[in-house]
Amino acid sequence: MAAPRITIVGASLAGLRCAEALLAALPEARVTLVGDERHAPYNRPPLSKDAAEALAAGPGAGPEVFEKLRLRSKLAPGAVTLRLGVAAEALDGTDVRLSDGRRIGSDWVVAATGLRPRRLPLTGAEDRRHVLRSYDDALTLAATLRTGARMVVIGAGFIGCEIAATARKLGLHVTLVEPAPQPMLRALGARVAAAMAALHRSHGVTLLSGRAVAGFDGARVILDDGQALEADVIVEALGSQPNTGWLTDSGADLSDGVLVDDRMLAPGAENLLAVGDIARFANPLFDAVPRRTEHWCIPGQTAKRAAETIAALCTGQRPTPGFAPMPSFWSDQYGMRLQAFGAPALAETQTVIEGDLSQTGTAPVIVEYARAGRPVGLIGLGANPAALARHRARLTAALTPPVDA
Amino acid sequence: MKVHVDMSICLLHGQCVIAAPEVFSFDDDGGLVWLAEVDESLAADVEAASDACPEQAIVIG
Ligand SMILES: Cc1cc2nc3c(=O)[nH]c(=O)nc-3n(C[C@H](O)[C@H](O)[C@H](O)COP(=O)(O)OP(=O)(O)OC[C@H]3O[C@@H](n4cnc5c(N)ncnc54)[C@H](O)[C@@H]3O)c2cc1C
Ligand code: SF4
């Protein structure tokens, strides 16, 4: 059989890891990696944390910071064809049409195009409104992070809370506006979210929860109750939307990301797979509901799975059934590590199993999350890694064997 | 194969401990310990640990 031609669209964590796994499994494959950013693949989590802080030192810091962010790769130079600074616009069957007018002939296409920040559908204050997803976003935002500046962060999800913490460290005045009653509520549940709210307040953040933005007026952010906040810097951190525009005619279910099965294949489309933040799949560790998961670990896990599938199908084998990766995520705020395993967002109950939530930020806390009496997640707040590892082993045991889908 | 963790960049995520428990572990104080020299039979686990490390702190030689 001729060497398979595989085009991976999206040259970030998921795309790069998929290229590596494909060449390890199918050394003869001809892999093209297409990315619309002009940068080599890099790591995003530090952009709201230490990289934002380092970039705030001035434009001169850029090259050194980027070198740390750049994803190290096992690929030999030239092992894949890298097409950076060009976007995929559409699929023609399994060929990929690019923004420069070219077309890449492909037998398989892997979608790894990730997410873009959601924006408020409001006009005004355009000169000071920022989002944070890419290195270029971070560069522009970092230039505004000056001691004494007034920052308004809209949306207290993880990225909003992290950039608020980083800005406090740099001496900015920070107001965090969140429509929900607590920050990071969906991901953490009410009790831990309340503890995180207290942590932000104790570090000098003005947290306005249960409030939404109604508009912008010059340099002011106007809230739904009429309150006006003066702002030098505004960060819109309202969550993200999947980059699926180029897949419109693919036949895949694009209702929220790309729906894929346990082999990362998109039903309804021809030889299309999806990996990383954009992939929506059921995880039998929890239930049969397909979900997107925006954690750093997912790109690596799904990329390997997609490569196994392509390798099996190209060599006339059947991919092994079943895919049940253990999710994990972390966040760093005010020097405290929040480390989660499993799916705390699915839980109905939270039980503190070590420490005391009122001590969050000063002493270790471990919380177990359960649904229908069964553990589904675990969160450590400044917890000892060894202790957390022991509880994680218990969680893994409780989640396996997976529930029948 | 030789395994090294650059402790100046390791942030103790513990992903390596999950991916390759025979090679990486935490001591009781929460410090990371690892085997500096591992058998080739564990190479895949060490590679997986290196991929799973969010700080790219694991150096395989
Ligand atoms: C600021 C920030 C902080 C984070 N912190 C954490 C954290 O602490 N812990 C954690 O677990 N996770 C964190 N994450 C999440 C983690 O970074 C993501 O899960 C991960 O980046 C997803 O990788 P991906 O490759 O699927 O998608 P992405 O990294 O989004 O990459 C998609 C790539 O595809 C490109 N692209 C899009 N459309 C096209 C097109 N049509 N043609 C070509 N290329 C295209 C994009 O420009 C991008 O380069 C954070 C994310 C951000 C932004
Ligand atoms: S995964 Fe990386 S950062 Fe985490 S403990 Fe292991 S080496 Fe350190």
Cα of A17 from ligand 1 centre, angstroms = 13
Q: Which residues make beta-bridge pairs with A220?
A: A217, A230
Q: CATH number for the B3-60 domain, one of 3.20.20.70, 3.30.1600.10, 3.30.70.20, 1.10.1040.10?
A: 3.30.70.20
Residue A328 lies in a domain: no
Residue A319 lies in a domain: no
Residue A387 lies in a domain: yes
pLDDT tops 50 at residue B56: yes
pLDDT tops 70 at residue B14: yes
Nearest CB among B14, B28, B56 relative to A388 is that of B14
Q: Which residues make beta-bridge pairs with A137?
A: none
Ordered strands of the A279-282 beta sheet: A258-259, A279-282, A290-292
Q: In this predicted structure, what is the pLDDT of residue B30?
A: 82
Ligand in nearest proximity to the CA of A166: 1
Residue A324 lies in a domain: no
Residue A327 lies in a domain: no
Q: How far apart are CA A317 and CA A367, in angstroms?
A: 43
The CA-atom distances, in angstroms, between B54 and each of A6, A72, A353, A370, B23 are 27, 11, 27, 27, 17
Q: In this predicted structure, what is the pLDDT of residue B61?
A: 83
Residue A198 DSSP SS3: helix
Question: Are A245 and A232 in a shared domain?
Answer: no
Residue nearest to atom 37 of ligand 1 (CA): A113
Q: In this predicted structure, what is the pLDDT of residue A405?
A: 45
Question: Are A105 and A248 in a shared domain?
Answer: yes
Give the residue, out of A296, A329, A336, A338, with the most ligand 1 atoms within 8 A of its beta carbon, to mutate for a pocket test: A296
Return the sign of the alpha-carbon dihedral for residues A211, A216, A217, A220.
positive
Residue B36 sits at φ, ψ, to 5 deg, of: -75, -25
Average pLDDT over residues B36-58: 93
Cα of A275 from ligand 1 centre, angstroms = 11
CB A276 within 8 A of CB A112: yes
**Residue A377, domain CATH:** 3.30.390.30
Q: In this predicted structure, what is the pLDDT of residue A403?
A: 57
CB A216 within 8 A of CB A170: no
Residue spans of the domains in chain B: they are 3-60
Name residues contacting ligand 1 (CB within 6 A). A 9-15, 34-37, 44-45, 47-48, 87-88, 112-115, 132-133, 159, 243, 246, 276-277, 294-296, 299, 329-331
Per-residue pLDDT of chain A (405 residues; tens, 9 = 90+): 689 999 999 999 999 999 999 999 999 999 999 999 999 999 999 999 999 999 999 889 999 999 999 999 989 989 999 999 999 999 999 999 999 999 999 999 999 999 999 999 999 999 999 999 999 999 999 999 999 999 999 999 999 999 999 999 999 999 999 999 999 999 999 999 999 999 999 999 999 999 999 999 999 999 999 999 999 999 999 999 999 999 999 999 999 999 999 999 999 999 999 999 999 999 999 999 999 999 999 999 999 999 999 999 999 999 998 999 999 999 999 999 999 999 999 999 999 999 999 999 999 999 999 999 999 999 999 999 889 989 999 999 999 876 554
Cα of A294 from ligand 1 centre, angstroms = 8
Structural domain count of chain A: 3
Closest chain A residue to B53, measured at CA: A297
Q: How far apart are CA A112 and CA A242, in angstroms?
A: 10
Does the beta carbon of B11 lie inside 6 Å of ligand 2?
yes
CB A138 within 8 A of CB A47: yes
Q: Which distant-in-sequence residues (6+ apart) come within 8 Å of A18 by Cβ? A: A8, A110, A112, A275, A303, A304, A306, A307
Q: Nearest to residue A34, comparing CAs of A114, A112, A107? A: A112
- Which of the 8 DSSP states describes residue A390? H
Q: Which domain holds residue A158?
A: 128-238
Q: How far apart are CA A277 and CA A273, in angstroms?
A: 13
Ligand in nearest proximity to the CA of B24: 2
Question: Are A107 and A245 in a shared domain?
Answer: yes
Closest chain B residue to A16, measured at CA: B51
Q: Nearest to residue A399, comparing CAs of A346, A355, A351, A349? A: A346
Residue A123 lies in a domain: no
Residue A322 lies in a domain: no
Give the residue, out of B7, B8, B11, with the most ligand 2 atoms within 8 A of its beta carbon, to mutate for a pocket test: B11
C-alpha torsion angle, residues A352, A353, A355, A357 (rounded to 10): -10
Give the residue, out of A9, A86, A113, with the most ligand 1 atoms within 8 A of its beta carbon, to mutate for a pocket test: A113
**Residue A76, domain CATH:** 3.50.50.60
Q: Which residues of chain A neighbour B32 with C-beta distances below 8 Å?
A: 385
Question: Are A270 and A368 in a shared domain?
Answer: no
Q: In this predicted structure, what is the pLDDT of residue A400?
A: 84
Q: In this predicted structure, what is the pLDDT of residue A402?
A: 64
Tokens of A102: 């070219």
Q: How far apart are CA A304 and CA A24, in angstroms?
A: 10
Cα of A225 from ligand 1 centre, angstroms = 34
Residue A99 lies in a domain: yes
C-alpha torsion angle, residues A379, B55, B61, A39 (rounded to 10): 140
Strands, E, within A10-165: which ranges?
Answer: 30-35, 81-84, 88-92, 95-98, 103-104, 108-111, 115-117, 129-130, 150-154
Cross-chain Cβ contact A328/B15 below 8 Å: yes
